[in-house]
Amino acid sequence: MNLESIPILYKDDRYVIINKPAGLVVHPDGKTNEPTLVDWIIKNFPETEGVGEPIVLTNGGTILRPGIVHRIDRETTGALVIARTAEAHAYLKERFQTREVSKCYHAFVFGEIKEEEGVIDRPIGRSRKDFRMWSAQRGAKGTMRDAVTEYKVVERSKDFSFIEAYPKTGRTHQIRVHFKAINHPVVCDKLYAPKRDCALGFGRVALHAYSIEFTDALGKIISVKAPYPKDFEDAVKNFKESCQRESSMLD
């Protein structure tokens, strides 16, 4: 993973928004030793070192999360905000908690979603099958936390749907778990759809954090869109062309 090639989409005295590449974990997990986004943050924005809330491990160790207010999964690409000051971190954390941060994800899911738009309102708990997984289905264990994802279908074929998803809550793996729960798992999601072959040119989960918008403490609206990485760009182009051909054959 080349930490030098992380694109900065927005920067001011309080926030930095990056376009996270696939394969990069946001912060260490205390178990493996690999480059993380935290390494890049500390190197490029050393003032963030004391910003944020570290994770305290059961063995007494700590994992630093400088400037981290929210996360996106290792294989997911796209817009991620880093707070540069303690005040900015506290402010944005509260905006996330009060659901005043608007996020839009683009994803390819298996199957044809018939509805133009919808809402998945299903609490999420731990999976009983695998400690790495979460579940929005009957039989989940532990505390069930409310989770809401709105979505609309951009393009569809008989085998796949290209969607926009708007998570209103911030649960771990929320979009992946919710679409698995309605039998439309995200393409190439090896954790939640392990028996399905990857498709559409993806070798990783077909999920991209496309945009994020919030109002800062000074009343300024910060709105950023993250350009697609090549695999996603190619998939969108090829899928739309394929759907157009399919539609013209039916006319």
The residues carrying an active-site annotation are 73
User: Mapping DSSP to helix (H, G, I), strand (E, B) and coil, where does residue 118 land?
Assistant: strand
User: Mapping DSSP to helix (H, G, I), strand (E, B) and coil, where does residue 250 land?
Assistant: helix
Residue 65's alpha-carbon distances to 48, 171, 211, 212, in angstroms, are: 9, 18, 22, 20
CA atoms within 13 A on the CB side of 12: 11
Residue among 175, 23, 180 nearest 107 (CA):
175
DSSP 174-209: HHHHHHHHTT-PBTT-TTT-TTSPP-TT-SS--EEE
* Residue 241 and residue 233 in contact, taking contact as beta carbons nearer than 8 Å: no
Q: Which residues of 128-153 are buried (b: 16+ CB within 10 A; e: fewer)?
A: eeeeebbbbeeebeeeeeebbbebeb
Indicate the pairing of strand 134-135 with strand 124-126: antiparallel
User: Mapping DSSP to helix (H, G, I), strand (E, B) and coil, where does residue 231 land?
Assistant: helix
